[in-house]
Structure 1
Amino acid sequence: MRDDRVDLIKIIQKSYSRLSKGQKLIAQFIMNNYDKAAFMTASKLGIKVGVSESTVVRFANALGYEGYPQLQQELQELIKTKLTTVQRLEMSNDYTNEGAVLKKVLKADMDNIKATIEEMDDVVFQKVIDSIFNAKRIYIIGLRSSSTLAEYLGFYLNLILDNVKIVTPGVSDVFEQMIRIGKDDVVIGMSFPRYSANTLNALNFTKEQGALVIGITDSKGSPISAISDYTLIARSNMASFVDSLVAPLSLINALVVAVGMREKSEIANTFSTLERIWEKHNVYNDKNTIL
């Protein structure tokens, strides 16, 4: 591997014009799907792109690597740290045409949902649901951009279950909110690029206390995947300065529905009570009033 840590995506972009036709196909695939390519062998990458394994090896050589394993290792390092916001902006060439942005973003979101469906392990999903119901307490943590996902999951699980706690950033430190966590508890941790160090630290702490950890993240190369007892993968690829959280949100919807279906009769009573409260206090504007 090269001694200098020049960004891999930049190297591919700079080298693109002098690559062979087959190597350009590899380059394009890696730039669009670096999280998938990071865990493919040279043979599988060649098959996926439609070139020979030797072409993949020569591609690695053309970028300055001794061989494909060195390129793959750097790809995996890229996954761990992801890209800085500035680097993502530099990758956003396809989004310069404002008229095409809407379709490109929606298409990327569709691709993320499709990949999430294809890669979802139904057995792991079932075990996650079982773990939620077996837990004494359920802690949900997601910081920075993932805080929206954590709040969303917590909001709905709180309507179904009475043992849910959302860990939030603020005056009270994250560790203070999780200080009583124990071996009978479950922690659902969410982390998407760029991965929050505080989320990882909190999950490591809960793991040390014996709690079961459920990770919701974007790839097996995510930092929280290595410490999670169960990991649910939801793709969030977006070659821009923001990440797509559409597939993660869809996965969370599936979790809520699956939990709700087990408690169908109980939540029916809960929502009947809530409807009366909402109507009494005018929580929703259900009147078709013409202003």
Structure 2
Amino acid sequence: MPKDILSHIQSGMSGFSKGQKLIARYILDSYDKAAFMTASRLGKTVHVSESTVVRFASELGYDGYPAMQKALQEMIRSKLTSIQRIKVTNDRIGDHDILSTVMQADMEKIRLTLEEADREKFAQAVDAIVNARRIYILGVRSASALANFLGFYFNLIFENVLLIQAASASEVFEQLLRVGPEDVIIGISFPRYSKRTVKAMEFARDRGAHVVAITDGETSPLAPIATCTLTAKSDMASFVDSLVAPLSLVNALIVAIGRRMNNDLSDTFRALEQIWDEYDVYEKAEE
């Protein structure tokens, strides 16, 4: 199946039935909306039956409508502007309760992430991190929250963690200057992807470092660079990035490594508790 689904639809237009042409034209004109419609809703929008929409997906060579929808979503993953995201989000929520809609969507992303998780790659990432000489962590824009979360806990577990500050491209490479074959870089990026993160990961890979990508799928520009890719579902449609599933994946990574480093982690917290007690770090509750 060609990666460019729009070109595939355009080239097959002459062979489509009347109903299929209606679907095709709508997708070509409004692919940013069609990518997030159910088969039923797409059919109602163009005034054809749901079964016609399903047959259209099969006509294109997809194994059902969800496969065609996924191809559309992957194609536009990094192309939607902020304005388009707002419009798509408004169309998807409509008159529904916002709190329920957003939380249920996040629950679905966690479910899909769990179903598609590659346990072997997850174990490979844990092994590489545990055995690394130095651990570099990079995430910019909204992904910086995940990078900071990961960096906070890794600094409790390891002595060799560098959370890369990505204020500028030059600063990123300055901090990666000594990266080498015994090191690991963990790059975190979701649509719209960060070129700065991609370039930094390429730099580390070219110098022999083990590259772990935390991203949304094999179509991500981070995936071809990484020696190990951990995927989590995100919501590229909303102007606010949904990082619930990625955060859950990061949390699982921290727990898995914490279990591997159990003795060292226990010693760390024992030392911290002694410091907290000695210096009276926590204020006592007012009487």
Normalization by structure 1: what TM-score?
0.77
Structure 1 residues 13-24: aligned runs within 5 Å: 17-22=45-50
- Paired residue for 1:160, among 157, 161, 164? 157
**How far is 1:288 from its partner?**
4.2
Map of 2:210 onto structure 1: 212
Q: Superposition RMSD on alpha carbons, in Å?
A: 3.0
1:107 aligns with 2:104: yes
Q: 1:201 to 1:238 in 2, by over 3 A?
A: closer
Structure 1 residues 227-242: aligned runs within 5 Å: 227-237=225-235, 239-242=237-240
Equivalent AA in structure 2 for residue 45 of structure 1 = G
d(CA) in 1 for partners of 2:247, 2:238: 19
**How far is 1:240 from its partner?**
2.1
Alignment deviations for residues 131-153 of structure 1 (CA, whole Å, 9 cap, x no partner): 11221111111111101101110
Map of 1:85 onto structure 2: 82
Alignment deviations for residues 40-71 of structure 1 (CA, whole Å, 9 cap, x no partner): x844224x59xxxxxxxxxxxxxxxxxx8xx9
Structure 1 residues 1-291: aligned runs within 5 Å: 1=7, 2=10, 8-10=31-33, 17-22=45-50, 42-46=61-65, 76-79=74-77, 81-92=78-89, 93-97=91-95, 100-170=97-167, 173-237=171-235, 239-285=237-283, 287-289=284-286
d(CA) in 1 for partners of 2:194, 2:52: 34
Is the 2:32–2:76 Cα contact (8 Å) retained in structure 1? no
Q: 1:237 to 1:45 in 2, by over 3 A?
A: farther
Q: Percent identity at matched positions?
A: 41
**How far is 1:106 from its partner?**
0.8
Q: Show structure 2 runs of 5+ residues with no match.
A: 1-6, 12-27
Is the 1:108–1:238 Cα contact (8 Å) retained in structure 2? no
**How far is 1:276 from its partner?**
2.3
Q: 1:288 to 1:21 in 2, by over 3 A?
A: farther
Q: Show structure 1 runs of 5+ residues with no match.
A: 27-36, 50-67
Give aligned pairs, total.
254
**How far is 1:10 from its partner?**
4.4
d(CA) in 2 for partners of 1:265, 1:143: 32
Equivalent AA in structure 2 for residue 262 of structure 1 = R
Normalization by structure 2: what TM-score?
0.78
d(CA) in 2 for partners of 1:199, 1:238: 18
Is the 2:43–2:50 Cα contact (8 Å) retained in structure 1? no
